[in-house]
Amino acid sequence: MSGPRDQGTPGPTSVVIGLSAVVVAIRDGEAVVLTVRPHDAVTDAASPLPGLPFGPFDPAGHRTFELGLRAFVTQQTRFQLGYVEQLYTFGDEGRDAPRAEMGAGAARVVSVGYLGLTPTAVETQAPDTAWAPWSAFFPWEDWRHGRPALLDEAIAPALRRWAGDDPGKASRTRLAFALDGAPWNEERVLERYELLYEAGLAPEAARDQARAEGHAPAEPAALSAALGEPMISDHRRILATGLSRLRGKIKYRPVVFELMPAEFTLSALQRTVEAIAGVPLHKQNFRRVVEREDLVQGLGRQDADTGGRPAELFRFRREILAARPATGLSLPLLRD
């Protein structure tokens, strides 16, 4: 049995478990994510920056993390989650967590991130809730129309100034952002964002440093269009984690079909994969991949609403998920 605690000894650190949701849909050929603008606990003013749907886990009221996530996402956004999977646990000390909303002024917040996929970006009609394109937060990630000019015009010069004569920083910059002939790896979204953060090029970095020093700075504005829009707390880091996970997973699991309606054309399927991966695909080779994996079935009907030549409608053969391990879709890139 331990003795009484010394008055100078710090008490136990309170911990709150928060749940965050990266909810993705496709709208008009663009990958969009569900965002919220939380209200200040004191002033009730909406945040000037968007964030992801989030809330505290209630061990008394929520049987599982996932059920808690589904409950508060519906409460905040009036949106019913479909497919979800756990992303990652974010527990770094000193995270800029919105503690007032998470409850009880906790000294430590551990956030469990989830990825949710839905075939339709339903207008929620909930206040301070909106679907926003991923490209608004990570504009350098969209290579569908070729290498983004902002990489060489804005990001590369700023990173080279930061790296200076440090070979380690220079190498990380080259490999992450495909500079000096290095190949582009679409899955390294989180690595690229964290590099920008370390270099002070993500506007959240200065805010978080000031708060770590005990100050209370206002939420930052975007430093430039090339560097993307900031988000509350570390939600842009969580969003980057979600995009990295999804870009990797579509190659080895058929999760892309969670973003498709019940009936779709192969062109629509290709546009969806391109919107997620951020790279252009070779049409004929992509269709060969789809046929080889035997993931879809033709319905013998045409879609006359394509704006051009009618295209055959297909469905995802969901029954194969119970019959055999189902693979994803490789990315046959369109080369110049």
pLDDT digits (tens, 9 = 90+) for 74-89: 888 888 888 999 998 8
266 contacts 311 by C-beta, under 8 angstroms: yes
Distance (Å, whole) CA 221 – CA 237: 17
Distance CA 70, CA 118 (A): 13
**CA 236 vs CA 169, 188, 263, 307: distances in Å:** 22, 14, 33, 36
Residue 97: pLDDT above 70? Answer: no
Q: With 0-12 CB in 10 A as exposed, 13-18 as middle and 19+ as buried, what is 265?
A: middle
User: What tokens does 181 get?
Assistant: 């002939």
CATH for 15-133 is 3.90.79.10
Name the helix (H) or strand (E) containing 66.
helix 65-77
Instruction: Say which amino acid occupies 71.
Output: A
- Using pLDDT thresholds of 50, 70 and 90, give the confidence band for residue 336: very low
pLDDT digits (tens, 9 = 90+) for 4-20: 445 555 555 677 888 99
SS3 245: helix
Residue 290: count of CB within 10 angstroms of its CB: 17
φ, ψ dihedrals at 298, nearest 5°: -70, 145
Residue ranges, comma separated, of all CATH 3.90.79.10 domains in the chain are: 15-133
Average pLDDT over residues 238-247: 96
With vertex at residue 325, the alpha carbon angle to CA 321 and CA 330, rounded to the nearest 5 degrees, is 100
Q: Which two tokens stand for residue 259?
A: 């973003």
* Residues 85, 101 contacting (CB under 8 angstroms): no
Residues of the chain with CATH 1.10.10.10: 254-323
CA distances from 81 to 69, 114, 166, 201, 258 (A): 9, 11, 46, 34, 12
Q: How far is CA 334 from the centre of its chain?
A: 25
Q: Domain 254-323 - what CATH class?
A: mainly alpha
> Could you tell me the pLDDT band of residue 60, with boundaries at 50, 70 and 90?
confident
Neighbour tally for 277: CB within 10 Å: 26
Q: What is the pLDDT of residue 106?
A: 47
Q: Looking at residue 8, what is its pLDDT?
A: 52
